[in-house]
């Protein structure tokens, strides 16, 4: 059985680096992101993890493969403010855009 690992936000930056390292470690990589990169060291699925229905369909597909052994959830938030200036509603909106979608994928896999 081929060992596969999913990397979210895999089209560039940290996610792409995680995909590259995973391939070097003999993993078959399934990359996910909003936009497709020019090239990718494995299978790439252009998807919107903020869309719950799309995420459920993807999760069911990944579960049906029976060889996906892990998820590298490349999640980050950045809002450069002084700690005493952070507004809760702004922080919550950023969390909702970046963190919630990444958590939906593993929680959708049945």
Full pLDDT tens readout for the chain, 110 residues? 789 999 999 999 999 999 999 999 999 999 999 899 989 999 999 998 888 888 889 999 999 999 999 999 887 666 666 767 767 777 676 666 666 776 777 776 66
Q: Tokens for 38?
A: 């020019």
CA distance 66 to 17: 25
Q: Write down the pLDDT at residue 104.
A: 72
Which backbone phi and psi does 48 adopt, to 5 degrees?
-115, 100
Q: Tokens for 22?
A: 């995973």
Q: Write down the pLDDT at residue 89.
A: 77
10, 31 in Cβ contact below 8 A? yes
pTM, two decimals, is 0.79
Q: Write down the pLDDT at residue 40.
A: 97
Other C-beta atoms within 10 Å of 6: how many? Answer: 26
- Reported as type and span, the H/E element at residue 67 is none
Residue 96: helix, strand or coil by DSSP? helix
Homologous superfamily of the 4-108 domain (CATH): NAD(P)-binding Rossmann-like Domain (3.40.50.720)
Residue 33: helix, strand or coil by DSSP? strand
Q: Write down the pLDDT at residue 110.
A: 60
Q: Write down the pLDDT at residue 68.
A: 94
Q: Write down the pLDDT at residue 58.
A: 93
Neighbouring-strand partners of residue 5:
29, 70
Cα separations (Å) of 53 from 11, 35, 69?
22, 18, 22
Q: Write down the pLDDT at residue 97.
A: 63
């Amino acid at each position: 059985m081929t060992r596969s690992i999913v990397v979210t936000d895999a089209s560039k930056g940290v996610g792409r680096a995680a995909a590259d390292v995973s391939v070097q470690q003999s993993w078959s990589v399934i990359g996910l992101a909003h936009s497709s990169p020019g090239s990718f060291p494995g299978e790439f699925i252009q998807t919107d993890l903020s869309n719950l229905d799309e995420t459920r369909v993807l999760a069911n597909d990944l579960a049906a493969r029976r060889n996906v052994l892990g998820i590298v959830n490349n999640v980050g938030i950045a809002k450069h403010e002084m700690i005493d200036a952070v507004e809760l509603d702004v922080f919550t909106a950023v969390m909702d855009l970046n963190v919630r979608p990444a958590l939906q994928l593993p929680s959708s896999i049945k």
